[in-house]
C-alpha cells in the first residue's frame, strides 16, 4: 500500500508548498485584531493576496482562512467572508503597506526586510 502522503499528491502538495511562502503576522505587528499572512508569488496563478484569520486573537483556524486580493483594491475572494469592520481594518492595513506587500509578493525583498518595512495600524 502506498504512503498516503505520497498518494495524495496534487492539491495537497501545492498547499504545503504555498505554506512555506507565507509569513504570518500576529496582531502585535499589524494592529489588526487577527493574524494575517503575506506571501511570495511562488507558483500562484493569481495576483497579490493576503490571507486573513477571521477569528480575533493569536489563535489560528486554518480551515477558515479568508483570501483578500490586494490589487486593484482590496476585496474578499469568495467563498471567504469578513464582517464589515474586519474588512475595513484589513483594507486600511493593506493600503498602509501596499508597496511592501507587493515587493514581498514579487520577491524583491526577503522576510526580514518586509518585517522591518511593515507599518502597524494606529
Tell me the pLDDT tens digit for each residue of 5-14.
333 344 433 4
In angstroms, the CA 62 to CA 37 distance is: 11
CA-based nearest residue to 26, from 17, 41, 16, 37? 37
Q: Give the pLDDT score at 59.
A: 85
Residue 1 has pLDDT above 60, yes or no: no
In angstroms, the CA 47 to CA 63 distance is: 22
- What digits encode the pLDDT tens for the residues 65-118? 999 999 999 999 999 999 999 999 999 999 999 999 999 999 999 999 999 999
Q: In the Cβ-directed half-sphere of 26, how many Cα atoms lie within 13 Å?
A: 4
Return the SS3 of 24.
Answer: strand
Helices (H) and strands (E) in the chain, counts: 5, 5
- What digits encode the pLDDT tens for the residues 24-43? 999 999 999 999 999 999 88
Q: Give the pLDDT score at 18.
A: 52
In angstroms, the CA 32 to CA 121 distance is: 7
Cβ contacts of 55 within 8 Å, gap of 6 or more: 34, 61, 64
Amino acid at each position: 500500500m502506498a504512503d498516503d502522503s505520497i498518494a495524495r499528491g496534487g492539491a495537497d502538495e501545492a498547499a504545503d508548498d504555498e505554506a512555506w511562502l507565507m509569513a504570518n503576522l500576529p496582531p502585535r505587528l499589524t494592529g489588526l485584531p487577527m493574524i494575517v499572512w503575506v506571501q511570495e508569488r511562488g507558483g500562484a496563478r493569481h495576483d497579490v493576496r493576503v490571507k486573513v484569520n477571521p477569528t480575533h486573537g493569536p489563535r489560528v483556524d486554518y480551515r477558515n482562512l479568508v483570501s483578500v486580493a490586494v490589487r486593484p483594491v482590496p476585496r474578499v475572494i469568495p467563498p471567504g467572508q469578513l464582517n464589515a469592520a474586519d474588512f475595513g481594518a484589513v483594507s486600511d492595513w493593506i493600503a498602509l503597506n501596499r508597496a511592501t506587500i507587493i515587493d514581498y509578493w514579487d520577491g524583491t525583498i526577503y522576510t526580514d526586510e518586509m518585517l522591518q518595512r511593515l507599518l502597524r495600524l494606529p
